[in-house]
Chains A and B, each alone.
Chain A
Amino acid sequence: MESKNRYIILTTMLVQVCLLLIIDFTIINTNSLDLLKKSIPAFNAVIFITTILMLASLKKADYFIKKETELELLKSNMKNTEDLLNLLRTQRHDYLGHIQAIESLVILNEYQELAEYIKGIGKEYRITNEMIRLGNPILTAIINTKKEIAEKKGISFHVKCKNKVSLHGINSWELSSVISNLIENAIEEAAKSEDEKWIKINISYTHHIFTFNIENTGKIDEHVLGHIFEPGISTKSATGRGYGLYIVKNIVEKYNGTVEYEITENGTVKFKVVLPSEEESYGKKAV
């Protein structure tokens, strides 16, 4: 049905143009003004119908643009998860190799060699041991992948989470969109910072409500302040940008949550997402 909608939009627009052309030619071809006058109600009806169709088409087109942006985000999130899985697979393969090597060293009674070998492995896999686990597979994947990206850009990435994040009623791709969008924005803005570069994520749980605080050392342009959650508002000039926070707001509100931002006393930017953990709290749209 989705693809048929595209044809409906295209056909509507073409029908409108063709009808107007037919009217145009009818006017050119007419000999008397009387006939033209009699035709005015018909022309008005055609213009009225085509205008409604045009408006409906524009609305549909707008909907598809949003869907396409969402799809792009989902693709990016899927890629993050896939990258993390590949990393884990590679390391599992390496582990098997190391176990075999350790077994051989034990059989050969080379304990000194074994100690050095284990020390070496320990250094190599320190990063893996530091993997952040949040009790939610999609969040774990996103946060760890984004952490790696941020650290590569020289941004310190801190995560504080005391509770397992169990938001079962929220679609994983929507939760992924929310967190991913906010962290991506934080990375982009923090990377621009000339002084300190850090991102702090604090996830807390109180009274069946999860609060996600995402703070970074970046700045928000003055011209977008107050319009940040509107579609198409972006600090970047690239086409198709500026839908991330709009999508975040839509998703969060769908689950009866809130999203807001503040510029802290230190000049950092903090986004706060509040989401109820229980399905009963979600709005009708979420069901």
Chain B
Amino acid sequence: MTRGRLWRLGLRSLLIQCSWNFKQFQGLGWVYLLLPELKRLYPDRTLRPIVQRYLGYFNSNVFLTPTIAAAVLSLEYQQRREQPVPMSPQAFSEAVMAPFAAAGDAFFWGGLRPLCCTLAVVAGFLGYWWSPLLFLVLFNLPVFIVRLAGPWFGYHRGVMVVQLLQDYRIADMALVLKRMAVVVLGGIAAVLCHQPDVGVAFSLLICLSLLLTVFMSVVLLRRGFPLYLVIIALLLMAGGIDYTFFIG
């Protein structure tokens, strides 16, 4: 496969979740992704049973699906040329979709997105109007690279593409990103309670009450209290304090 066709695979993967459903998940999208290349490989009459094998249940991380697809296609090419393959393309895709989902979800949804969002929120509360753009750029840059470079690695390494998960220690990188997100969350709290001209005693009071609120909310949310109840209760409490001490 040429580089252009691998890129097209990456672009086509933008559309794999169009028909997401609860029975086959990305199943139909998976066939949509593979179809142009399978058509090249197999003449019209033999194509049906091949596609039949892929049309079913499939679900993995959206950003890593093109990588899996490229590896599967490299196996298909080898099979077509009657070279020996370590495992059948279907068995490969079934074996890797869950682990890739685990690694990809941990990295992109569990690590990268919280970090980018919190950084953008800090910028927003500091008054910078471009904070939404900052978020989009920070998140989409790594995603873009993975979406375009993934198919290339997948095609050239074939089955051994799974080694990448270990080589780059994706799971541990996700944890590092998560820790950084926690630090930035502390930063958000600091930005929220920083008031320049109120004196030491009052600033201390603000900081303590804010940290206490965060701590209490964490405890309540972990106990399973719904988000809206926590917020409404806090609003009523703070409103009451405001009314008794500062207005009434």
Whether A associates with B in a native complex is no
Could you tell me which A residues sit within 8 Å of B by CB distance? none
Could you tell me which B residues sit within 8 Å of A by CB distance? none
